[in-house]
Amino acid sequence: MIMLNIHEAKTQLSRYLRGLKRGQRIVLCRRNVPIAEIVPIEGQGEPGKKPRPIGLAAGEFSVPASFFEPLPEEILAGFGEISGTTQTETGA
């Protein structure tokens, strides 16, 4: 356990946060009187732990190849683009 006065914690916090990753605890003090404790979040940074999947529904569905095909012209027109030109260029 590391005991830090508030001033030292403010100036050196980055350095002490590395210790949290290794499981250390930090006790914050005001004039050497403990007032709070900073503890690591369980499961964070533990060796051998499987990383979280990206996305909330990772592995629950697959994206079809058609998703990457160009949109039809009528849909593109709704975005202000017709066949690669803007509506202002076509006079619309």
Q: Say what the pTM is.
A: 0.44
pLDDT digits (tens, 9 = 90+) for 32-64: 999 999 988 875 555 566 776 678 787 788 889
| DSSP class per residue in 37-84 | EE-PPTTSS-TTPPPPPSSTTTTS----GGGGSPPPHHHHHTTTEETT
How do the domains of the chain map onto residue ranges?
2-38
For residue 68, pLDDT beyond 90: yes
Tokens 């499987």: give the residue.
Answer: 50
pLDDT digits (tens, 9 = 90+) for 22-31: 888 899 999 9
Mean pLDDT of 66-85: 80
Q: Give me the CATH code for the 2-38 domain, please.
A: 3.40.1620
